[in-house]
Structure 1
Amino acid sequence: MPTILSRDVAAESSDKHRSLNALLFRKLMPLLVLAYVISFLDRTNIALAKSHMAVDLGMSAAAYGLGAGLFFLSYALLEIPSNLIMHRVGARFWIARIMVTWGLLSAGMAFVTGETSFYIMRVLLGAAEAGLFPGVMLYLTYWFGRKERAKATGFFLLGVCIANIVSGPLGGALLQMDGVMGWHGWQWMFLLEGLPAVALAFVVWKKLPDGPATASWLSPEQSQEVERGLAAELAEEESAGQVGHSFRGCFADRQIWLAIFVYFCHQISIYTVIFFLPSIIGTYGKISPLQIGMLNSLPWIAAALGAATLPRLATTAQRSRRMLLIGLCVMSGGLLLAAFASPAVALIGFCLTGSMFFVVQSVIFLFPSSRLAGVAMAGGLALVNTCGLVGGFIGPTVMGFIEQATGSTKNGLLIIAAMLVIAALASTRLRQGQERT
């Protein structure tokens, strides 16, 4: 009889836990995802503008690639201080501040007049947006335990997929405003896609709580339950010797640097595809900007399906490693297919690569976060993202020079495919907490 009673209590507790997590997802994730949708629209819409700016401003492929990559240098340099500031001043204020500055600068891209102003605006845009992604990764640790965090991260990364699905048709339509009021279509696109970030910042300021204790939609009991659960998980990990790095200790942790290497290779691939896929599709035949935008959406639909379904399966360290290995190999295979196949099959290859983009990205962050806590978590996650994002500079920059030198992106795709295989092999050495190597 006591066994049946205890089983009923455990079942009731489990149901309450699931119900509370569902509430957290419902209240937090839509707003965070929408913010990320707009941020990705604003950082990547230059991909659709590339050929038009080449004609109107005389911008070369190498200059475009460098400008696309410069965003990530300033973004990376400021991520760690941004995350440490957010840890001190709170998520609501800091995320709203990020959104206002990046929205205004993104709209200001409409006034670019040449390569120099293009470089300057991309650097400023990167500085303005710095800290959003690692800030949200940190913010999720205020609400979700390790098991739920991979699912929450996967949902957040849906923002990238949605942005790239929407950006093609939307950007293509805005580009067709060419000549309206004497402006080029790309100018209208930058202006009209930049201002929504400013408007959404006010919603974030009003609606996003800093943590469970300040969430008006949680009862005091629910707020305490969230904080108790997180505290219990942290205490369990600390007693097992799984966390406790200072931020300085991150730099001496080989596992953190291994996660950075895998993430670096991943980011090279994703941003090269983001910034060059529309122009690659443009080589498939005589296609209008709207058609290019719609075809560009297909790999991101595949990415959304992957992000929505697979990260939740990463419930153990072993499963997480297996998912990284398979995901990185699939990404590599898709790029090889895209490099050698006919246009229709090449697009299937890009879809295969895209399907694993955010499965891999969701799972990577489980490894460093299992070894960190507190301020070290804030700085450590930013360190991983900062170093990884250098790949966002290198990938588009190198691809731009390769395209200008050879007239093709094929060699660039082959190099990235090889790097992904190396990253896949490296991922088998990743460990959570104090797992044996």
Structure 2
Amino acid sequence: MAVAGSEPRLRRMNMDDLGRATISRVSWRLMPLLGLIYMVAYIDRQNVSYAKLQMVSDLSLSEAAYGLGASLFFIGYFLFEVPSNLLLEKVGARVWFARIMATWGVVTVLLGFTTSPTMFYVLRFLLGAAEAGFFPGVLYALTLWFPQAHRARAVGSFMLASAVANAVGAAIGGVLLDLDGMLGLRGWQWVFIATGIPAVILVPVVLATLPSGPAEARWLTERQKSWLADVLRAERSGEHVADHRNPMRALADPRVLALSVAYIGFPLAAYGLGYWLPTIVKGFGVSNTINGLLNVIPWTLVGLALWWVPRHAARFQNQRWHIAGPALIGAVALVLSVIVPGPVLKFVMLCIAAPAIFSGQPVFWTLPPRFLKGASAAAGFAAINSIGNLGGFVAQTVVPRIRDESGSDLVPMLFLALCLALAAFGVLLAERRLPTSV
């Protein structure tokens, strides 16, 4: 005879098992491919930091002028990100991600044949326009596949690719530079050509294997699709979750604007560090290849932090300090990286700063779905990311100018640290205005 209450408990256990199996299958089917695409995108975005070591002299550019060209990526990104994400919401992730990859791959290869500063500026702008919408597009797509409780870990797994990209990019960037002269091409040309081709190769893979949503996933059972649809529908039906009739109205939502301003400091610090790290390490007196290999270390630590912090945050109802805390640690480490004596201690501080800057971002990206859904969520993700990524423009224009005019390595790091600290406090203030649950 069944004990009273045991049957509902058994049904609950079965549903829990079904949920775990569904999330596990979605994770294993989606995240490796999305992570691989993001890794290629991130390498194509950051390869200018290695090409710079030769390209500056070849094109007769100053550090500030090169930084301006590199940063035009973010202007193209800013202008086209919201329209791109709204189109993705209409046509689906499979087709739109394939289009994004094809165009950014071609533009990256063309950068390898740059012959003038003007051509460099135009192609960097076009690269930003081509890639616009991929990162926020994935963030939006993940809301179609993962319930809120699992989303930070999914975003963290996705962003792990940025750490792998920086590590791989660091390892191959120096090696490609040392191919200088092969087939009559300079090393910086090989950096762009070799890193642009994989994006084009992956286009047919995406078209063949990536479903645009759970309903198209042949590898999910009908029970799993039903479970996922029911959980996500319940989350989106919350009274605090907005789906604006015109998704562009999400751009004027005060909460979107607050998160956008708060987010600026994260890309600013990340790109500032990523852009300058090869130059800083080269100042230790190492070769291009050793420079690349040393840069693998901080990005490996970033990967570990992106794995651990979202999992630790999942234990807490209030996760705001899992965003702000690492940012404040990163700000302190950036300052210490210039103040402490000797290259070893400086490098240790950089190895602390890098994971601290990145590790809170997966938790940050769980904030918009607490008050947005549907096309409004797509627009909101794109707006926050596009405005925030103007920090990348600042990092690659203002920071080199600060260095040129101050003649100091400390002042640029103080600027990055201040922006990161302001971002941490901005998150604490913005998060207080959001609903606590969906």
Instruction: Indicate the TM-score class for this superposition, using the shorter chain for normalisation.
Output: over 0.9
Q: Which residue of 2 aligns with 1:352?
A: 352
Q: Which residue of 2 aligns with 1:313?
A: 312
Q: Which residue of 1 aligns with 2:58?
A: 56
AA aligned opposite 2:52: K
Q: Which residue of 2 aligns with 1:153?
A: 155
Residues in 1 aligned to 2:244 and 2:315: alpha-carbon distance in whole angstroms: 22
Does the CA contact (< 8 Å) of 1:366 and 1:432 recur in 2? no
Residues in 1 aligned to 2:17 and 2:418: alpha-carbon distance in whole angstroms: 46
Q: Which residue of 2 aligns with 1:186?
A: 188
Does the CA contact (< 8 Å) of 1:328 and 1:360 recur in 2? yes
Q: Which residue of 2 aligns with 1:404?
A: 404
Residues in 2 aligned to 1:361 and 1:392: alpha-carbon distance in whole angstroms: 15
Does the CA contact (< 8 Å) of 2:248 and 2:379 recur in 1? no
Residues in 1 aligned to 2:103 and 2:297: alpha-carbon distance in whole angstroms: 31
AA aligned opposite 1:102: W
AA aligned opposite 1:300: W
Measure how far apart 1:410 and its partner are.
2.0
Residues in 2 aligned to 1:432 and 1:359: alpha-carbon distance in whole angstroms: 23
Moved more, 191-200 or 320-329: 320-329
Residues in 1 aligned to 2:379 and 2:105: alpha-carbon distance in whole angstroms: 25
Measure how far apart 1:282 and its partner are.
1.0
Q: Which residue of 2 aligns with 1:77?
A: 79
AA aligned opposite 1:292: N
Q: Which residue of 1 aligns with 2:200?
A: 198
AA aligned opposite 2:313: A
Does the CA contact (< 8 Å) of 1:59 and 1:114 recur in 2? no
Of 86, 98, 101, 1:99 maps to: 101
AA aligned opposite 1:8: L
Q: Which residue of 2 aligns with 1:227?
A: 229
Measure how far apart 1:432 and its partner are.
6.9
Alignment of 1:35-54 (within 5 A): 35-54=37-56
Residues in 1 aligned to 2:157 and 2:177: alpha-carbon distance in whole angstroms: 30
AA aligned opposite 1:326: G
Q: Which residue of 2 aligns with 1:331?
A: 330
Moved more, 31-40 or 188-197: 188-197
Q: Which residue of 1 aligns with 2:212?
A: 210
Measure how far apart 1:319 and its partner are.
3.2
Does the CA contact (< 8 Å) of 2:309 and 2:360 recur in 1? no
SS of the aligned residue for 1:161 comes to helix
Moved more, 364-373 or 407-416: 407-416
Q: Which residue of 1 aligns with 2:91?
A: 89
Does the CA contact (< 8 Å) of 2:19 and 2:224 recur in 1? no
AA aligned opposite 1:104: V
AA aligned opposite 1:119: Y
Measure how far apart 1:316 and its partner are.
7.5
Q: Which residue of 2 aligns with 1:243?
A: 242
Does the CA contact (< 8 Å) of 1:154 and 1:358 recur in 2? no
AA aligned opposite 1:181: L
Per-residue deviation, residues 78-106 of structure 1 (Å, max 9, x unmatched): 00000000011111000000000000110
Q: Which residue of 1 aligns with 2:13?
A: 11
Measure how far apart 1:333 and its partner are.
1.1
Measure how far apart 1:435 and its partner are.
4.4
Confirm or deny that 1:170 pairs with 2:172: yes
Residues in 2 aligned to 1:373 and 1:267: alpha-carbon distance in whole angstroms: 24
SS of the aligned residue for 1:310 comes to helix
User: What stretches of structure 1 of length at least 5 have no aligned partner?
Assistant: none
Q: Which residue of 1 aligns with 2:113?
A: 111
Measure how far apart 1:174 and its partner are.
1.2
Residues in 1 aligned to 2:316 and 2:77: alpha-carbon distance in whole angstroms: 30
SS of the aligned residue for 1:29 comes to helix
Does the CA contact (< 8 Å) of 1:339 and 1:413 recur in 2? yes
Q: Which residue of 2 aligns with 1:130?
A: 132
Residues in 2 aligned to 1:421 and 1:176: alpha-carbon distance in whole angstroms: 38
Does the CA contact (< 8 Å) of 1:371 and 1:432 recur in 2? no
- Cα gap change, 1:426/1:161 in structure 2, threshold over 3 Å: closer, same or farther? same
Does the CA contact (< 8 Å) of 1:282 and 1:292 recur in 2? yes
AA aligned opposite 2:374: G
Confirm or deny that 1:431 pairs with 2:432: yes
Paired residues in the alignment total 432
Measure how far apart 1:19 and its partner are.
1.1
Residues in 2 aligned to 1:311 and 1:47: alpha-carbon distance in whole angstroms: 29
Measure how far apart 1:380 and its partner are.
0.9
Measure how far apart 1:433 and its partner are.
4.3
Measure how far apart 1:402 and its partner are.
1.8
Measure how far apart 1:398 and its partner are.
0.7
Q: Which residue of 2 aligns with 1:282?
A: 282
Does the CA contact (< 8 Å) of 1:367 and 1:431 recur in 2? no
SS of the aligned residue for 2:284 comes to coil
- Cα gap change, 1:211/1:432 in structure 2, threshold over 3 Å: closer, same or farther? farther
Q: Which residue of 2 aligns with 1:298?
A: 297
Residues in 2 aligned to 1:363 and 1:353: alpha-carbon distance in whole angstroms: 18
Residues in 2 aligned to 1:279 and 1:134: alpha-carbon distance in whole angstroms: 30
Question: What's the TM-score once normalised by structure 1's chain length?
Answer: 0.95
Residues in 1 aligned to 2:289 and 2:408: alpha-carbon distance in whole angstroms: 23
Measure how far apart 1:318 and its partner are.
5.1
AA aligned opposite 2:387: C
Per-residue deviation, residues 141-184 of structure 1 (Å, max 9, x unmatched): 11011111111000010111000001111111111111111110
